[in-house]
């Protein structure tokens, strides 16, 4: 496998994660070297070799604890309590061996203890909570004080030097862990954002399909019923009505293809003219007041969808005899479209999928939509859209 190709196949978050973990684990490489070189100065070759091998095993164990701690910090697993206890016990045992098993010749004993304690504290820094690290620091200070007492004052400078270095490493790793978590959260947020964009596009398509097909299917049903009644009576007009049904079905098919292709752009004046024709064909007296040829294209498109959906609702949910559509300037910089019709049964106005879709569409332009029931048996739809 090509390493370069594998690296480029990773996401930015994965690259940062790999780089961070690599730098984190590099610190562990120096632990067996430090312990082995310190014990070699006060022990025989065999004892130093055994101490080095034990240090390597301890390093591997701490590495496993760090890996589990990072996964816990990122919220991918539970806190590795058992592993923490095991490594803590090994650290305490190693410190005890260094204090009592090695000759108290000063600095080497203290270096081993400092290395073990600092490594364990840094490993605890990978946990989400900082309290285990604080407790370990308190215990470590006590152990190091004991090491200074055993090894003598000559250990004080090197102990403080190692403690200072360990503190810098601890703070650096802790802040790096925070950055790693933020990077992964941003990566997840970007994934969620992409999913929401897909969902929004699906909702838009569903809304458009509802707006396009709803009115045409309602008209087709109405025309088909009218043609059936005329056919029962032996009227020749039934043929004309069925031809009209065919024409509307063909128009609906054209509209669906345009919506799917993403090229459909509803014109307000065309929709107003189509609304007058459709309402008249259903026996509803239609009045159109005003026109929208001076409005911005985006506003025209949004109001055209309003007219389309509102006319659909009139045909499907009312027994209207009159319908009035008014387009006028509202407050400075806004345009208001109102549509009222009679023939509505008394009751609470319900926002179905059509009105909810219109509300979302108008909201994208900073506009508002309201629907109210007015006596006697009148439904009023009001839409206000800013012109900018």
Which CATH number does the domain housing residue 272 bear? 3.30.565.10
Q: Identify whether residues 66 and 20 lie together within a single domain.
A: yes
Report the predicted TM-score, pTM, of the whole model to 2 decimal places.
0.48
* Residue 41 resides in a domain: yes
Q: Identify whether residues 297 and 152 lie together within a single domain.
A: no
Range of the domain at 176: 3-192
Collapsing DSSP states into helix, strand and coil, what is residue 382?
strand
* Residue 8 resides in a domain: yes
Q: Identify whether residues 175 and 271 lie together within a single domain.
A: no
Cis upstream peptide for 276 (omega within 30°): no
* Residue 276 resides in a domain: yes
Number of separate domains in the chain: 2
Q: Identify whether residues 30 and 152 lie together within a single domain.
A: yes
Residue 286: CB atoms within 10 Å? 21
Q: Which of 192, 224, 242 is the last residue of a domain?
A: 192
* Residue 197 resides in a domain: no
Q: Identify whether residues 185 and 216 lie together within a single domain.
A: no
* Residue 367 resides in a domain: yes
pLDDT tens profile 32-48: 777 766 666 555 667 66
Q: Identify whether residues 7 and 149 lie together within a single domain.
A: yes
Q: Identify whether residues 238 and 354 lie together within a single domain.
A: yes
Q: Please give the pLDDT value at position 171.
A: 75
User: Distances in Å between the alpha carbon of 171 and those of 142, 266, 363?
Assistant: 21, 60, 47
Q: Identify whether residues 160 and 217 lie together within a single domain.
A: no
In this structure, is the dihedral angle defined by the CA atoms of residues 60, 63, 69 and 72, taken in order, positive or negative? negative
Q: Identify whether residues 175 and 241 lie together within a single domain.
A: no
Q: Which of 192, 225, 240 is the last residue of a domain?
A: 192
Q: Identify whether residues 66 and 171 lie together within a single domain.
A: yes
* Residue 376 resides in a domain: yes
Distance from C-alpha of 139 to C-alpha of 156, rounded to nearest angstrom: 18
Q: Please give the pLDDT value at position 263.
A: 47
Distance from C-alpha of 102 to C-alpha of 110, rounded to nearest angstrom: 10
* Cβ contact 291:269 at 8 Å: yes
* Cβ contact 118:31 at 8 Å: no
* Residue 51 resides in a domain: yes
Q: Which of 161, 192, 223 is the last residue of a domain?
A: 192
> 334 phi and psi, to 5 degrees?
-135, 160
pLDDT in tens, the chain (388 residues): 577 767 766 777 888 888 888 877 877 777 777 776 666 655 566 766 777 777 788 888 888 888 888 888 888 888 888 888 888 888 777 777 766 655 555 455 566 776 777 777 777 777 776 666 666 666 666 656 665 565 556 556 656 665 666 667 667 777 888 888 888 888 787 667 656 755 775 776 677 777 777 777 888 888 888 888 888 888 878 888 888 888 888 888 887 777 665 545 557 888 888 888 878 877 788 899 988 878 888 888 889 888 888 888 887 777 788 899 999 887 778 999 999 998 877 665 565 667 787 888 888 888 999 888 877 778 899 999 998 7
Collapsing DSSP states into helix, strand and coil, what is residue 368?
strand
Q: Identify whether residues 140 and 220 lie together within a single domain.
A: no
Q: Identify whether residues 108 and 218 lie together within a single domain.
A: no
Look up residue 345 and give its DSSP letter.
P
* Residue 377 resides in a domain: yes
User: Distances in Å between the alpha carbon of 323 and those of 212, 260, 316, 379?
Assistant: 21, 31, 14, 10
């Amino acid at each position: 496998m090509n390493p370069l190709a594998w690296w480029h196949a990773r996401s930015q978050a994965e690259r940062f994660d790999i780089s961070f973990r690599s730098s984190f684990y590099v610190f562990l490489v120096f632990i067996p070297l430090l312990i082995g070189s310190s014990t070699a100065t006060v022990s025989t070759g065999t004892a130093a070799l055994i101490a080095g091998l034990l240090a390597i095993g301890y390093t591997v164990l701490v590495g496993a604890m760090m890996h589990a701690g990072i996964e816990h910090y990122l919220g991918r697993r539970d806190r590795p309590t058992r592993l923490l206890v095991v490594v803590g016990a090994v650290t305490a045992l190693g410190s005890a061996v260094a204090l009592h098993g090695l000759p108290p010749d000063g600095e080497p004993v203290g270096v081993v203890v400092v290395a073990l304690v600092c490594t364990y504290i840094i490993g605890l820094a990978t946990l989400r909570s900082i309290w285990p690290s604080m407790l370990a620091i308190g215990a470590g200070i006590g152990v190091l004080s004991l090491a200074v007492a055993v090894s003598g004052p000559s250990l004080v400078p090197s102990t403080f030097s190692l403690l200072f270095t360990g503190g810098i490493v601890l703070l650096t790793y802790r802040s790096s862990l925070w950055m790693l978590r933020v990077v992964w959260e941003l990566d997840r947020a970007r994934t969620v954002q992409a999913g929401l964009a897909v969902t929004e596009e699906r909702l838009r398509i569903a809304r458009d399909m509802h707006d396009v097909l709803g009115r045409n299917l309602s008209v087709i049903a109405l025309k088909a019923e009218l043609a059936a009644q005329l056919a029962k009576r032996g009227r020749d007009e039934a043929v004309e009505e069925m031809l009209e049904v065919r024409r509307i079905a063909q128009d609906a098919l054209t509209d669906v293809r345009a919506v799917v292709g993403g090229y459909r752009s509803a014109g307000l004046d065309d929709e107003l003219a189509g609304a007058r024709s459709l309402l008249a064909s259903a026996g509803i007296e239609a009045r159109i007041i005003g026109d929208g040829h001076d409005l911005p294209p985006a506003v025209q498109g949004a109001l055209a969808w309003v007219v389309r959906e509102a006319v659909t609702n009139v045909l499907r949910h009312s027994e209207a005899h009159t319908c009035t559509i008014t387009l006028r300037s509202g407050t400075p910089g806004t345009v208001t479209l109102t549509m009222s019709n009679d023939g509505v049964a008394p009751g609470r106005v319900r926002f179905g999928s059509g009105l909810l879709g219109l509300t979302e569409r108008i909201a994208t332009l900073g506009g508002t939509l309201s629907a109210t029931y007015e006596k006697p048996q009148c439904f009023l739809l009001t839409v206000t859209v800013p012109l900018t």
